[in-house]
Chain A
């Protein structure tokens, strides 16, 4: 049973964070809503990646493979915004 417990704990955390982000969306924080929603989403994504996808116990090479595309994604979004916002 011990092998499963961590998954139930993570699942509980994910459900709680979903409720939290839903509740916050009814409060008007201006741009703060965007920041809070993305922060909570990233917390949930980290939980899924670390525990469900086992990245927490992965080798350094696999972790590098998992993080590398995020670097490219930030280049694509950053580079595009540099073009569209300062044209």
Chain B
């Protein structure tokens, strides 16, 4: 954080500051919602290292990595869409929103395959503390993906009605910040659940 003033030229339209403060305040509550689960994970991981080690090996880390890349791509398409509407490119924004929605659906599809595979092997939330945390954390995250898809769909409908332009893109900007947050949570869930044991 240097002392230079913000560079308004880099955010031609953007959202007004009050809108940005609003979404970041909401995200603060989200950090604490997931934070409780991250705290539980840390406490139980320290208390049961052997169980965490044997359980995490049952997850397929390639699925986890694939889903990480899927979410990163979806974040890219949101960012591109916002950059496009800031230049007034409505069609590009619509295309980016559709790509993002498809990637979000792909993420949930892969998650569905993983969960059904666990169920087929008799792994349930009651199996162990690790899997109780695994299902709760990935489940809560999946709910956030669904909520994000709802918001992105709303943006797509509004974009098709021509509501957004280079001068006004606030709802898209704010939805984008929320979507990147969903990506952020997964960036931490992936190593904690799939990679370290």
Chain B at the A interface: mostly helix, strand, loop or mixed? helix
Residue of B nearest to A3 (CB): B83
CB interface residues, B 1-40, toward A, < 8 Å: 1, 6-7, 10-11, 14, 17, 20-21, 24-25, 27-28, 31-32, 35-36, 38-39
Main secondary structure of the interface of A (DSSP, over half): helix
- Nearest Cβ on chain B to A45's Cβ, whole angstroms: 5
Residues of the B chain whose Cβ atoms lie less than 8 Å from the Cβ of A66: 24, 27
B140: interface (CB < 8 Å): no
Residue pair A72, B32 in contact (C-beta under 8 Å): yes
CB atoms of A65 and B188 under 8 A apart: no
Total number of residue pairs linking A and B with CB closer than 8 Å: 132
Given A18-B65, A22-B65: A61 and B80 within 8 A (CB)? Answer: no
CA distance A81 to B69 in the complex (A): 32
The contact size tier of chain B is 35 or more
* Shortest Cβ gap from B24 to chain A (Å): 4
B: residues with CB less than 8 A from A are: 1, 6-7, 10-11, 14, 17, 20-21, 24-25, 27-28, 31-32, 35-36, 38-39, 42-43, 46-47, 61-62, 65, 68-69, 72-73, 75-76, 78-80, 83-84, 86-87, 176-177, 180-181, 183-184, 187-188, 190-192, 194-196
